[in-house]
Amino acid sequence: MFKMIGDITFSDLIILVGSILVALTVHEFMHAYVGHLLGDTTAFDEGRVSFNPMRHIDPLTTVILPIVTIVLFGVPILAAKPVPFNPNRVKYDDFGSALISAAGPLSNLVMAFLAALLTNAFAAGSMIEHVLAVFVGLNVAIFVFNLIPIPPLDGSRVLYAFAPDSIRRLFDQIEPMGLFIVFGLVLLGGFGGILTNLNNFVLNLLP
């Protein structure tokens, strides 16, 4: 039923921006909320346990960047303000840190699933069905994108929690330039069709 976001109109861009604000706000809220549940008040103290998008978005990387990359490449590359946490204050040590990292992308998967269910209640081709379809596609794309095991993406955070010291040292070294590495690999096709195939696989699992 759903597909990767491809050719889009101006109205699609408006829908996309709205979907991004909702998807990333919930994503970052869940990082902060789970961290708070696990005993770390760092994000809470900075006002990040909030559904206010202004607490989480960066105008360049959250709004402008995904619009440009979706128009040029058909792939939304985006990022919000990182949610801070202190691993020394988190319950369950590395497992707790992994839970915080996983909470964001898992929230996108849950939103995609719920929106897919809701889409079935509306006629195919209707505006509401179209809005929901864009929202589903975006959330799946964010979920899959964050699985890339390169810091600072969430997939790397989960892997870091269970990785040997050699991998941790490597991640620590590349993290300052990790986002540029990810963007470069995506834009240059360094992941081949892996991301597209994963997106389509997840989309096909939805109701």
Q: Kindly give the confidence (pLDDT) of every residue in the chain, 207 residues in length, as a single tens digit, with 9 standing for 90 and above.
A: 344 444 567 788 889 889 999 999 999 999 999 999 999 999 999 999 999 999 998 888 888 887 787 777 666 677 889 899 898 999 999 999 999 999 999 999 999 999 999 998 888 889 999 999 999 999 998 999 899 999 989 999 999 988 999 999 999 999 888 888 887 887 777 676 888 889 999 999 998
pLDDT at res. 192: 67
Question: Active-site residue among 28, 46, 129, 175?
Answer: 28
Flag whether 149 is in a domain: yes
Domain membership of residue 148 (yes or no) is: yes
Report the C-alpha gap between 26 and 50 in whole angstroms: 9
Task: Report CA-CA distances (Å) from 187 to 72, 96, 142.
Answer: 10, 33, 16
Flag whether 137 is in a domain. yes
Quick check: is 162 in a domain?
Answer: yes
In whole angstroms, give the CA distance from residue 167 to residue 181.
17
CA 12, chain centre distance (Å):
19
CA distance 203 to 112: 9
Q: Which two tokens stand for residue 12?
A: 């699609």
pLDDT per position as a tens digit, 158-181:
999 889 999 999 999 998 888 888
Residue 179 located in a structural domain:
yes
Whether residue 23 is contained in a domain is answered as yes
How many domains does the chain fold into?
A: 1
Separation between Cα atoms, residue 97 and residue 15, nearest integer Å: 33
Please provide the size of the chain in residues: 207
Burial class, 123, CB count within 10 angstroms (exposed 0-12 / middle 13-18 / buried 19+): exposed
Residues 160, 168 contacting (CB under 8 angstroms): yes
Contact 153, 182 (CB under 8 A): yes
28 is a catalytic site residue: yes
* Range(s) of the domain holding residue 44: 10-205
Does residue 5 form part of some domain? no
In a domain, 26, yes or no: yes
pTM score of the predicted model: 0.89
